[in-house]
Amino acid sequence: MGQDGQIARRCERAVVTAYRDLRGIGTDDLSAFQACTTLYRIHHPESSLNEARRLVAEWIDHHVVSGRKGPTPGCDCD
């Protein structure tokens, strides 16, 4: 199981994986963040842009910057 295998929400796992992959190929931080915000909104079109930015930032900080593995705040999806 990969680093993101313990993330329960599919949208959260997709966002974190995409961010890591984009940064891994040299995409700058802001562009990767914007792409991940768009990805989140594809999973959750009902979400406002501000809500999507907040969640994506929290997830990236939690999983990538801080390297934590515990649960995160977020949406109610599986």
Helices vs. strands in the chain: H and E counts, helices first: 3, 0
Query: In this predicted structure, what is the pLDDT of residue 45?
Result: 94
Q: Any idea where the domains of the chain sit in the sequence?
A: 10-65
Q: Cβ-count burial of 60 within 10 angstroms (0-12 exposed, 13-18 middle, 19+ buried)?
A: buried
CA distance 8 to 38: 20
Digitized pLDDT (tens) for each residue of the chain, 78 residues in all: 345 556 778 889 999 999 999 999 999 999 999 999 999 999 899 999 999 999 999 999 999 998 888 778 777 776
Query: In this predicted structure, what is the pLDDT of residue 10?
Result: 86
Amino acid (1-letter code) at residue 70: G
- pTM (2 decimals)? 0.85
CA distance 65 to 75: 20
